[in-house]
Amino acid sequence: MELDQILRSRSSVRNYDKKKVDPSLLKKIIAAGENSKALYEDITLHFLLLEDGQEAARKMSGYAGYFGKTIEGPHYVAAVTASKKGYLENLGYRMEQLMVTAFQEGLGTCWIEVLHHESKAKALLHIDDPDLLLLALTPIGYPKVGIGEKLVKSIIDEKSARENLYEMLHWGTWNSKKGESDQEPWVSVLEKVRFAPSWANQQPWQFIIDGDTLILAVMREKKDGLNRNRIDGGIIMFYIEAMVRQKGMNGKWVGPKEGVEKKYKIPENYEIIGSFSLNNAFE
Ligand SMILES: Cc1cc2nc3c(=O)[nH]c(=O)nc-3n(C[C@H](O)[C@H](O)[C@H](O)COP(=O)(O)O)c2cc1C
């Protein structure tokens, strides 16, 4: 299945069949995460299988999921990462690759971040590595609703569920707008990837097109501390890069340089997390 089709048919799964997943398949999914491409190679990140999903969900109750409500799944996967510049984006970028593999194997997943209950969650799940933070989890198993139904639903929901791309697009600098121009290479990429998942479907990303270069900004969080939106940023970075490749082009993400926020006139409640330059013309 092509990536744009995956994006249109995937959705977060919150209802799971009790049926266990074959251990060899679970191993394959974990391997897909462990071998996933990194945004930043120097950041250690691992995916751990929690075989007893019911027990994990019970322990996490009150700490993980919207309003502390966990999702029952036959198994869970936990992501643990070193804390280093760019680690939240790197987590989003890599864990989404694991989730795409799970989807391709007919399995459901649902992002659950535990940024604000990190040490509690780690202790409850007996993850002892002192150098790594437990920041995200996902249940994993067979969806209770058939994939076919999901596909239909996602197509029906498609328009209302995601914001209009042009609301998130800026040309050259922040708030510089222009009319719809689907001939632009970046527009055709972004039209597809805007279906990426995000926390509470907030779609906290904004895009600035500066010639061949795309600049990605995400909303800052009101509270001080970790910006959860950076995980969403990493997720869409993965899809953007994959979509660029699907369209026969190349390029790579680079982290923000000093002073870029000023250059692009980014408002204070947003921050730039990366830029991507195309180095191949569209065919
Ligand atoms: C970082 C992150 C954290 C999320 N946390 C939760 C969560 O705690 N509980 C939940 O039910 N869904 C969670 N979600 C799933 C989003 O609600 C979902 O991706 C969004 O509503 C879009 O729906 P879709 O994934 O079905 O396309 C999370 C998604 C992301 C990316």
How remote is the CA of residue 26 from the centroid of ligand 1, in Å?
Answer: 21
pLDDT in the model for residue 179: 77
Ranges of each domain in the chain: 3-141, 162-277
pLDDT in the model for residue 159: 43
Cβ(7) to ligand 1 under 6 A?
A: no
Locate 132 and state its tokens.
């790594």
> Closest Cα partner for 236 from 37, 97, 56, 30?
97
Bridge partners (DSSP) of residue 49 are 77
Backbone angles phi, psi at 112, to 5 degrees: -140, 115
**The pairing of beta strand 169-171 with beta strand 205-210:** parallel
Q: Tell me the mean pLDDT in the region 212-231.
A: 90
Half-sphere exposure of 18 (CA within 13 A, CB side): 0
Class of domain 3-141: alpha beta
Locate 159 and state its tokens.
């328009």
pLDDT in the model for residue 279: 75
- Nearest CA, atom 29, ligand 1: 199
How remote is the CA of residue 202 from the centroid of ligand 1, in Å?
Answer: 9
Q: What is the pLDDT of residues 19-50, one digit of tens each?
A: 999 999 999 999 999 999 999 999 999 999 99
How remote is the CA of residue 203 from the centroid of ligand 1, in Å?
Answer: 11
Provide the mean pLDDT of the chain.
91
CB of 64 within 8 A of CB of 121?
yes
ipTM above 0.90, yes or no: yes
The CATH architecture that domain 162-277 belongs to is 3-Layer(aba) Sandwich (3.40)
Question: How far apart, in whole angstroms, are the C-alpha atoms of residue 241 and residue 276?
Answer: 8
Cβ(197) to ligand 1 under 6 A?
A: yes
**Residue to mutate (ligand 1; options 199, 232, 237; most atoms within 8 A of CB):** 199
91: pLDDT strictly greater than 50: yes
Cβ(227) to ligand 1 under 6 A?
A: no
Residues across the chain = 283
CB of 50 within 8 A of CB of 58?
no
> Closest Cα partner for 106 from 196, 13, 195?
13
